[in-house]
Amino acid sequence: MTDAPNIVLIGFMGTGKTSVGHRLASRLGLTFVDMDHVIEQRQGCAISELFATRGEPFFRSLERDLVRELAGRRGLVIGTGGGIVLNPDNVADFARTGLVVCLKASPETILRRVEHDTTRPLLAQGDKAARIRDLLAKRQALYDAAPNPIDTDALGLDEVVETVIRLYRQAMVHPPCRRQA
């Protein structure tokens, strides 16, 4: 257990949150928590099954509850689901617990990374490239409003990890000003 500030990775599907999160956690001696994985374990079924049987709003409520729970812990690297930005309270709650980083990638890079994936319900129907472009466009303003963007298109995994570690160390030395109550 450590009381170090959390690192929270947000960003669209296929931007590398899980791979980066795993490596970051082992580099920094923090615990990696993948939110989708926790939800799947607790519900005993895959995210795609959850969407199909209970619907997206139910999934979003589980996601919201888990944000509140994880925001009460420290010493974590948290890999969020791509839709976490749909409720700005999620980002605000996480921002109070440590560093929030938004991983970004072009639609082409995202498509390359998720091309053969069958686990993401929001990309399961229709043309994947079109779905990615459409969803990204709908959420663009939300990702743009997120703190600490990192464009991952031209970076390897370790370069992304190093960039996050730099931001984390800076944030530990110069924490954001806290408004007086």
Sign of the alpha-carbon torsion through 15, 38, 57, 61 = negative
CA 121 to each of CA 16, 151, 173: distance values in angstroms, whole numbers, following the listed order: 18, 25, 40
In whole angstroms, give the CA distance from residue 147 to residue 152: 15
User: Which of 5, 16, 21, 81 is in the footprint of ligand S3P by CB under 6 A?
Assistant: 81
Chain residues 12-51 in contact with ligand S3P, contact rule CB under 6 A: 13, 17, 36, 47
Least spacing, CB of residue 156 vs ligand S3P, in Å: 20
Q: String of b and e for 79-113 (b: at least 16 CB within 10 Å)?
A: bbbbbbbbbeebbebbbebbbbbbbbbebebbbeb
Say whether residue 5 binds ligand S3P (CB under 6 A): no
Residue type at position 131: R
What minimum distance in Å lies between the beta carbon of 82 and ligand S3P? Answer: 3
- Closer to ligand S3P by Cβ: residue 39 or 71: 39
Closer residue to ligand S3P (CB): 69 or 169: 69
Stretch that binds ligand S3P, among 23-31, 89-97, 105-113, 119-127 (CB under 6 A): 119-127
Total residues interacting with ligand S3P, rule: CB under 6 A: 10
User: What is the side-by-side order of every strand in the sheet holding 6-11?
Assistant: 31-34, 76-79, 6-11, 98-104, 149-151
CB of 120 to ligand S3P, least distance (A): 5
User: Which residue number, 5 or 83, has a Cβ lying nearer to ligand S3P?
Assistant: 83
Select the residue interacting with ligand S3P from 5, 82, 98, 107 (CB under 6 A): 82
Of the two residues 31 and 48, which places its CB atom closer to ligand S3P in the complex? Answer: 48
User: In angstroms, what is the C-alpha Rg of the chain?
Assistant: 16
Question: Shortest Cβ contact with ligand S3P: which residue?
Answer: 81
DSSP class per residue in 51-101: HHHH-HHHHHHHHHHHHHHHTT--SEEEE--GGGGGSHHHHHHHHTTEEEE
Give me the residues that bind ligand S3P (CB under 6 A), please: 13, 17, 36, 47, 81-83, 120-122
